[in-house]
């Protein structure tokens, strides 16, 4: 059976790009194999953060994942910091990770430039912790957005290097899974940039929990161009983004959507995309409100998931310790 692992940061509201590019894959993964999903609160502390708010956003994210369709009876859902094997494996893997490559990672360079007071060592080690998250479960597959491809390649190289040095088959070299449609949803106001919670315009990012009227206004004001043709290509980045969104929401191809709306005009097309997104997100928004109110239940579900996760991760860590000759001699049976 294919083992699937992925993680999500408990920071900020989740937007349409997060949902289409990653979370829908998580939900589908429950039917394709053994699915393990993690709220990565340890990653969240690599930059300046509000400690009190972090606990709340962990609950926000957990409720969102459950509302999106994750079922604790069909997957393992847990909080990263509840499984200490992640941090120990990070240190063990640090010995087979290139420092220079960590310093060249795009995310490290971008985020370090944004830090005014402190560029933490944790930010540099972020990809090593991310590798440990996945490799601790010997996952076969990692569903991610296009922006995480660089981190996945480092993770694969770390696993290969560990296997070559300490024993072939010690760790599984995972494969990435990037959706054919919707892997990179762009900002509605700046279609040359990925949709993000840090958008310069409040109208550029569609949040999963936005109300219907807000969603419609954002799509109506989406930047396009001065033409009328519903098509992709140079100068059509805004329309191409809307085509990508509608295709992903409908589960259709971009060609199918383009053929349906060609000649319809931008106003009608934008309204159709807005209406489709409103319908698409409505069930998640409604379930979220109910789930988020019960924090004790969210905590219970995370604890149950952590117990399941530790049973898997502890086996991997014991194997890695033995292979690296770290700690006491492992008893033989």
Closest CA to 281 of 254, 238, 248: 248
Q: How would residue 149 be classed by pLDDT, with cut points 50, 70 and 90?
A: confident
Do 270 and 159 sit in the same domain of this protein? no
Query: Per-residue pLDDT averaged across 89-98, rounded?
Result: 96
CATH code (residue 86)? 3.40.50.620
Listed range (15-29, 34-48, 178-192, 255-269) with the worst mean pLDDT: 178-192
Could you tell me if residue 192 is inside a domain? no
Could you say which DSSP state residue 230 is in? -
Do both 95 and 139 map to the same domain? yes
Give yes or no: residues 177 and 302 share one domain.
yes
Domain that holds residue 67: 3-182+294-324
Task: Evaluate whether residue 163 is within a structural domain.
Answer: yes
Contacts of 128 (CB under 8 A, 6+ apart): 90, 93, 94, 97, 102, 158
pLDDT at 182: 64
Q: Is residue 283 part of a domain?
A: yes
**CA 186, CA 20: separation in Å to the nearest integer?**
12
Q: Specify whether 14 is located in the same domain as 158.
A: yes
Q: Which helix (H) or strand (E) holds 311?
A: helix 295-324
Q: What is the mean pLDDT of residues 269-296?
A: 96
What is the average per-residue pLDDT within 302-312? Answer: 98
CATH code assigned at 245: 1.10.240.10
207 found inside a domain = no
3-state secondary structure of 142: strand
- Check whether residue 38 and residue 125 sit in a common domain: yes
| Rounded CA separation 189/183 (Å) | 18
Task: Provide the pLDDT for residue 95.
Answer: 94
Overall average pLDDT of the 209-233 stretch? 91
Report whether pLDDT(333) > 80.
no
Alpha carbon distance 131, 153 (integer Å): 10
Do 278 and 150 share a domain, yes or no?
A: no
Residue 128 lies in a domain: yes
Cα–Cα distance measured from residue 279 to residue 272, given in angstroms and rounded to the nearest whole number? 11
The total of structural domains in the chain comes to 2
Kindly state whether residues 141 and 274 are assigned to the same domain: no
**C-alpha dihedral, 71 to 76 to 80 to 83, nearest 10°:** 150
301 and 258 in a common domain:
no
Beta bridge partners of 142: 176
The overall average pLDDT reported for the chain is 92
Q: Are strands 34-39 and 3-8 parallel, antiparallel or unpaired?
A: parallel
Mean pLDDT of 171-182: 81
Q: Indicate if 170 and 234 belong to the same structural domain.
A: no
Q: Is the dihedral of CA 214, 215, 217, 222 positive or negative?
A: positive
Q: Residue 167: what are its φ and ψ, rounded to 5°?
A: 135, 120
Around Cβ 23, how many Cβ atoms within 10 Å?
A: 23
Task: Decide if 41 contacts 73 (C-beta within 8 A).
Answer: no
**Given a cut of 80, is residue 218 above it in pLDDT?**
yes
Greatest distance between any 2 Cα atoms in the chain: 74
Q: Would you say residue 110 lies in a domain? A: yes
Are 87 and 149 in a shared domain?
yes
- Please report whether residue 332 resides in a domain: no
CA distance 47 to 295: 26
The span from the CA of 234 to the CA of 38, in Å, is 39
pLDDT at res. 180: 63
Grade residue 229 by pLDDT with cuts at 50, 70 and 90. confident
302 and 246 within one domain: no
Predicted confidence (pLDDT) per residue in 94-109, tens digit: 999 999 999 998 888 8
In a domain, 188, yes or no: no
Q: Provide the pLDDT for residue 27.
A: 94
Let me know whether 8 and 151 are in one domain: yes
Average pLDDT for 142-163: 88
Name the more confident of 181 and 144: 144
Q: How far is CA 201 from CA 78, 206, 225, 237, in A?
A: 33, 11, 18, 17
Pairing assessment for the beta strands 75-79 and 141-143 based on DSSP bridges: unpaired
């Amino acid at each position: 059976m294919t083992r699937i692992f992925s993680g999500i940061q408990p920071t900020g509201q989740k937007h349409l790009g997060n949902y289409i590019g990653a979370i829908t894959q998580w939900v589908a993964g429950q039917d394709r194999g053994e699915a393990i999903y993690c709220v990565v609160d340890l990653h969240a502390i690599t930059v300046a953060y509000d400690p009190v708010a972090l606990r709340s956003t962990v609950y926000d994210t957990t409720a969102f994942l459950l509302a999106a369709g994750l079922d604790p009876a069909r997957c393992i859902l847990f909080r990263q910091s509840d499984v200490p094997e992640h941090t120990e494996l990070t240190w063990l893997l640090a010995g087979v990770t290139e420092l220079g490559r960590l310093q060249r990672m795009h995310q490290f360079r971008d985020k370090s430039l944004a830090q005014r007071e402190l560029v933490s060592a944790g930010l540099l080690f972020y990809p090593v912790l991310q590798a440990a998250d996945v490799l601790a479960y010997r996952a076969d597959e990692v569903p991610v957005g296009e922006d995480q491809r660089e981190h996945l390649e480092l993770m694969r190289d770390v696993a290969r290097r560990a296997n070559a040095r300490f024993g072939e088959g010690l760790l599984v070299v995972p494969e990435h899974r990037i959706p054919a449609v919707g892997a990179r949803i762009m900002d509605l106001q700046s279609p040359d940039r990925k949709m993000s919670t840090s958008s310069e315009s409040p109208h550029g990012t569609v949040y999963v929990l936005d109300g219907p009227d807000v969603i419609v206004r954002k799509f109506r004001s989406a930047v396009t161009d001065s033409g009328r043709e519903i098509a992709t290509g140079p100068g059509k980045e805004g329309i191409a983004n809307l085509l990508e969104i509608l295709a992903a929401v409908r589960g259709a191809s971009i060609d199918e959507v383009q053929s349906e709306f060609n000649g319809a005009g931008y106003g009608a097309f934008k309204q159709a995309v807005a209406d489709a997104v409103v319908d698409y997100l409505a069930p998640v928004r409604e379930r979220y409100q109910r789930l988020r109110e019960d924090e004790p239940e969210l905590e219970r579900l995370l604890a149950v998931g952590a117990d399941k996760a530790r049973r898997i991760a502890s086996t991997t860590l014991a194997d890695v310790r033995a292979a690296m000759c770290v700690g006491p001699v492992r008893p033989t049976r």
